[in-house]
Amino acid sequence: MKPRRNYVCTACGGVSVRWQGQCPRCGAWNTLEERLETPAPAGGRRAPAAVAGRPGAGMALALGEVDISAQPHVSAGMRELDELLGQGLVRGSTVLMAGEPGVGKSTLLLQVAGAVAKAGHTVLYASGEEGLPQLKRRAERLDCLADTLLALSTSSAEEVWQAVEAAGNVALVVLDSVQTVVSSLAEGLPGSVSQVRAVAAEGIDLARRCGCCLLFVGHVTKDGQIAGPKLLEHMVDAVLSLEGDRTHCHRLLRVLKNRFGPSLDVAVFAMQGQGLAPVEDPAALFLESRAGGLSGTALAMALDGQRAFALEAQALVSRSWLAIPRRTALGLDVNRLHLLLAVLEKRLGLSFGQQDVYAKVGGGFKLQDPGFDLALCAAILSSQYDQALPEQAVFFGEVDLNGRIRPVAGQEVRLHQAKRLGLHPVFAAPGVPQAQHVSTLASLQEALFGASGRGGRG
């Protein structure tokens, strides 16, 4: 049949019949690439095979009669990872783990593969990025070698699927990574939209047919988004994101999607010589190196997913010699810093027009929690007046444009963690039990600095 000429967006996978500078689907510029596709002949589709818990093609079952005993959970060897996924790895499921280069994706998955293999299951680790000698040296360092841990170094998806079927009852397959493997059923270079889509579709079909759990490793773009079509995240059952600053030893494993358990949860790991080790008490992790008696710092009880962390909000307000003062934020949105500075100026009579303001979340943590507002404002005021805050004081609450303190989600969890860590007093919005209530920024200023802070320094 005559080939059909289409233009496919490398960012979202959208298809257009003609080339244009901007993708009509996602709005990205200069991402449309030409593709020649041959239409499949009529009746050329392969009928789906019957799998465990499902009837054959064209048959339906009552949902209550579906057998789920053929999809047992397999422990990943780490309690924290099992809790993130629900009850562990599910046979027949697919999981995508993404992260920046060097953050520890391959290390963590090789540890998981070794733990599952040592539990008596057959595991296949297929790598399109590393050779077998390199994999063995890393496995020896991580103490992951086992008789049932099989390894394959190839960039062919067909070779991976054949190895899985030849190995028999495989419990776990790790594909590192989906952007480096090529399928013969699609055109394009490795990592292109068509190749990623084809490899993922074949892998999902294999996982359901063979009853194994398939773990994809995914690359990310310079913006931190998962590379490839957005369809990839929709196709898999769970999406994990491994985050962290490579200059720090701590890593955060975040669940972005999970069909078998909770989502938006997070686990903390520490990078060590023997791999990634779970942190036993992540709530107090960032308090170990904190020094008291310094201005410009405030403790925040922040919520990330379902966990509360005691984090340090750091701020520095200093005289500016520039025509336009600097505004720098690390670990939080700089637009939120601009907003809070405008509220402080308007509601407290302060002036930051001739001052540089720097804000940071201690420990390399990245936050989007609105409950961090109150602690950041307290740190800015502390630096402005050059007065240290009470060392064990902790803050959480959202600041609105009128300077009022609003309650935030998870207040019970935050308060419980603050009590467990012995942090007191707790500054929060009215309505939080056993806390020192501050309803506005003016009342916060009065409670922390008294008459010395009244009226600002502007």
Binding residues for ATP are 99-106
Give the annotated binding-site residues: 99-106
Token representation of residue 159: 């070779």
**Residues of 304-339 as b/e, b for ≥16 C-beta within 10 angstroms?**
bbebbbbbbbbbbbeeeeeeebebebebbeeebbee
- Whole-angstrom Cα distance, residue 253 to residue 435? 31
Whose CA is closest to 421, among 301, 289, 280? 301
- Whole-angstrom Cα distance, residue 399 to residue 438? 11
251 within 8 A of 243, measured Cβ to Cβ: yes
Q: Find the largest Cα–Cα distance for the chain.
A: 84
Q: Report CA-CA distances (Å) from 315 to 116, 244, 350.
A: 45, 21, 16
Q: Report CA-CA distances (Å) from 71 to 67, 76, 247.
A: 9, 15, 40
- Whole-angstrom Cα distance, residue 204 to residue 1? 29
- Whole-angstrom Cα distance, residue 12 to residue 32? 10
**Residues of 38-74 as b/e, b for ≥16 C-beta within 10 angstroms?**
eeeeeeeeeeeeebbbbeeeeeeeeeeeeeeeebebb
- Residue 153 identity (one-letter amino acid): S
- Whole-angstrom Cα distance, residue 439 to residue 373? 13
Token representation of residue 268: 């903390």
